[in-house]
Structure 1
Amino acid sequence: MPVKNVNELVQTVFSGMSPLVIDGVTDEGERIVVRARTPTEAAVWPVCGAPSGRVHGYQLRTVADVPVDDRRVVVRVRVRRLVCPTRGCRHTFREQVPGVLERYQRRTARLTRQVKAGVEELAGRAGARLLAVLAVGLSRHTTLRTLLRIPLPTGRTPRVIGVDDFALRRRHRYATVVIDAETHERIDVLPDRTADTLEVWLRKHPGIEVVCRDGSATYAEAIRRALPDAVQVGDRWHLWHNLCDATLSEVKAHSTCWATVLDAPIYDGPRAQTTLERWRQVHDLLDQGAGLLECARRLQLALNTVKRYARADQPERMLRVPKYRASLVDPYREHLRKRRAEDPAAPVKHLFEEIKALGFTGCLNLLHKYINQGRADADRSHISPRRLARMLLTRPDNLKTEQHGLLAKLTASCPEMTQLAAGIRDFAPLLTPHADNADALTRWIAQVREADLPHLRTFTRGLDRDLDAVIAGLTLPYSNGPTEGVNTKTKRIARQMHGRAGFTLLRHRILLG
């Protein structure tokens, strides 16, 4: 609809100040000045509630408003000081304009809303720079003060919560975030991740019925002490992650089995001899009745290293397949093999020029390394333990046709690899919550303990230590995934402030998010 006159244009541009009477607008170049006044109707004194229209005097307020055309807008409002008619009440009062002018503020309410929206996302210097582009001049200190004055959501006690820790300073200081696991709203941020702090918070918020967490024993103890009747739900992602680690360890332990299927060599140099000799030393001491700590002390090894050797029932299980990744030289392996068979003394420089003419885009050093590793003379497998573990853990529908055949060949290399593949295949459906998963998990644990898979048995012992929470995680629809998502956003906030934000400011931004 077209604008018919200047007054209608003014009312359109400055519609946010409709409770005021606009007397005029002046263009001063870098800024626009709006002259306005309050209407003549009676105003209500907020203390006694009595209306008054008797004017004692006038005062001029100067406030900033939303910019127009990239220029600052200054509003000069004439407000009345009225006389209160109630005997014994305060003699005079200055009228307020709710929704437009707030007490003691130098910005209109709508400009304040825009400033708060900017500082919520950026804060500090970044918020000040953004507001400067929008023709709102604020210092970084003012943006932080504005941010901290934004009221936090009122505290409430949800029925289902999620708790997780995040780093304030990695490996030194950590904090705890608490969210509503059903609505994903932030509830609170605690200054550390100790059991006592979480216990105190839980006791102040009765009514919580379900708590989602990871495998932290600290959180489990705090929940048990504060809310003994609450259901603790273990996180399914962490269960799968722990199974992935156990699978990788099992695949490494059976390298001598599946590597022979691909005619892949095993390390046979001095390092392999050292590994075999160390295995014999560890098991000799164990046969003599020495404990793991005593073995570590006598052999001057780390306790975890001794445990790893003690877990292997055969020395060959400690040997590994060389970790050869795919290389730019691989497409030219046959050419190199043929040329080196014809002329074993062929200079690497000449070979480099030949494959470069065939399309090789790598450098000379890469070719030197490839030849020195022996990869040009023998068929070395590119299947590393990590890659094989990844194929075992990938959903079968997402594997390529050739990967299905390769995986079937590798898992049939020994009974343990076959049992490992079957164990993973049986555990994966349990990650979809269902009421029958509790009995299925019990059967799966019993099946794994009958197999010769020590790393997977270690994983089942971890399940036993937190069995109730694990069963709840596999049978209930709740998850700690939303809490992990909040932690990801928290890391973005911390990086945005270059890691220099104190806990108070960081907590404020997390809860406002």
Structure 2
Amino acid sequence: MEDVALRLKALLFPSITDISVLSVDVNIEIVRVEAQCTKIGAACPGCGAWSTRVHSSYLRFPADAPSAGRSVVLQLRVRRFRCRNTLCHRRTFVKQISGLTRRYGQRTERLRSALAAVGLALAGRAGARLAAVLGLSVSRCAVLRLVDALPEPVVPEPRVVGVDEYATRKGRHYGTVLVGVETRRPIDLLPDREASTLAAWLAQRPGVEVVCRGRAPFFAEGAAAGAPQAVQVADRWHLWNNLSEAAEQSVAQHRRCLRVLTPAASHAEAENVPPSDPSVSPWPTGHRFADRTRARHAAVHALLEAGHSMRSVQRQLGMSRHTVRKFADAAKPEDLFTGQWQNRSSGVDDYKP
């Protein structure tokens, strides 16, 4: 029995040396483990004084992660020590087992870390569903509380910072997002896009060497004031955007050169195409949107000619009242071919031939 207990301890608690397994009961669904803390003394968390005086002991039942598809029920007996320091406000205290329990904790550290990892990946509701599949009974609110209790990650001081704007309400409220270009992770969010706010943020981080920013003038002013030692560069997206705009402006300025390259006959043929030619229709025959519009138009008019009311047509075809009225008012399907593709022209349409 002692060998079984040692093996089970090595399996369930490989890095914990302050407990001893007393008994093990294994069945098809549950593994019951009875253990006790072997600490003969502990330091008071209030004053730090070492004490070996045992006040009492009690049982704890922290929930643990399942093992080999079986639920693990841990019955742990811990000792309560009496503080020797008469000036300490803590009369008694319990020594927590490192890597297994914490004060007021109802789960083992292993189970807490597993649920927190699930919560970080899937958040509350989806995380709770996945935990149930893994045999971990937890609510969505508990998953979110575990994620919220995690310490803030230590972010190293960035060397290359990307600066751009984000919108909480497009056209009205904007802020500044700062991204570590080397780590490709967001670093901070500033509530506005003022140069003074960005300068104050950069001034607190003297290790910034490169500021990769957008073209906004307030970003340039803030970077120059807050990090004068940093080099200001444009990011890849803004480089491509600048190049495309410059190419578009260059083509617009030299559009007369296209007339020299276009034969006069092709230009005349393009002008002689009648506007009613179905070959130049924005939705010709065979287009899925055009075919669907023609079919609905025919169905609506067929039901109306058969004596059905607007409400009856709406119910039979599953359309709204406004849509049925629109199809009924159109004498032919081509009257409905309006929108972004109708009469859409471009500055280079004359030169497409």
TM exceeding 0.5: yes
Partner SS for 2:241: helix
Structure 1 residue 215: Cα displacement: 1.7
TM-score normalised by L of structure 1: 0.47
Compared with structure 1, are the counterparts of its residues 102 and 224 closer, same or farther at alpha carbon in structure 2 (3 Å cutoff)? Answer: same
Counterpart among 268, 272, 279 of residue 271 in structure 2: 268
Cα separation, partners in 2 of 1:240 and 1:7, compared to 1, 3 Å: same
Cα deviation, residue 149, structure 1: 1.8
Residues 5 and 21, structure 2, Cα contact 8 Å, conserved in 1: no
- 1:107 equivalenced with 2:110 (yes/no): no
User: Does residue 244 of the first structure (1) align with residue 244 of the second (2)?
Assistant: yes
In 1: Cα distance, 2:150 partner to 2:269 partner? 63
Matches within 5 A, 1:156-167: 157-167=157-167
Q: Which position in structure 2 is the counterpart of 1:41?
A: 40
Alignment RMSD (CA, Å): 4.1
Q: Give the gaps of 5 or more residues in structure 2.
A: 288-333, 335-346
In structure 1, C-alpha distance between the alignment counterparts of 2:265 and 2:206, rounded to whole Å: 60
Q: Which residue matches 1:11?
A: 9
Question: What percent identity do the matched residue pairs reach?
Answer: 38
Structure 1 residues 206-285: aligned runs within 5 Å: 206-248=206-248, 250-251=250-251, 253=255, 255-260=258-263, 263=266, 268=271
Rounded Cα–Cα distance in structure 2 between residues aligned with 1:266 and 1:163:
52
**Aligned residues between the structures:** 282
Contact 1:157-1:207 at 8 Å conserved across structures: yes
CA distance in 2, matches of 1:243, 1:5: 73
Runs of 4+ in 1 over 6 A off after TM superposition: 269-272
Aligned residue in 1 for 2:308: none
Distance 2:75 2:155 in 1: 39
Residue 178 of structure 1: how far off its partner (Å): 1.9
Native 8 Å contact 1:81 1:93 kept in 2: yes
CA contact (8 A) 2:6 2:21 kept: no
Determine which structure has the larger strand proportion and give its number: 2
> How far apart are the structure 2 equivalents of 1:26 and 1:38?
19
Alpha-carbon shift at residue 32 of structure 1 (Å): 3.5
1:54 aligned partner: 53
Q: Tell me: CA distance 1:100–1:25, structure 2 relative to 1, closer, same or farther (3 Å).
A: same
Q: Check if 1:32 corresponds to 2:35.
A: no
Q: Tell me which amino acid in the other structure corresponds to 1:64.
A: A
Assess, with a 3 A threshold, how the Cα gap between structure 1 residues 81 and 259 changes in structure 2: closer, same or farther: farther
SS at match of 1:102: coil
Distance 2:30 2:260 in 1: 80
Instruction: Identify unmatched segments of 5+ residues in structure 1.
Output: 273-321, 330-368, 370-383, 387-409, 411-513
Of residues 194-203 and 259-268 in structure 1, the stretch that sits farther from structure 2 once superposed is 259-268
Report how far residue 97 of structure 1 moved.
Answer: 0.9
Instruction: Say if 1:248 and 1:385, in contact at 8 Å, map to a contact too.
Output: no
User: Could you say what secondary structure the match of 1:208 adopts?
Assistant: coil
- 248-257 vs 44-53, which moves further: 248-257
Distance 1:132 1:261 in 2: 74
Query: Are 1:64 and 2:67 matched, yes or no?
Result: no
Deviation at 1:81, TM superposition (A): 0.6
- Match in the other structure for 1:440: none
TM-score if structure 2 supplies the norm length? 0.65
Contact 1:17-1:100 at 8 Å conserved across structures: no
Paired with 1:234 and 1:184, the residues of 2 have a C-alpha distance of 16
CA deviations on 1:21-69 (whole Å, 9 max, x unpaired) are 1222335765433222101432232344433332110122221112223
What does residue 450 of structure 1 align with? none
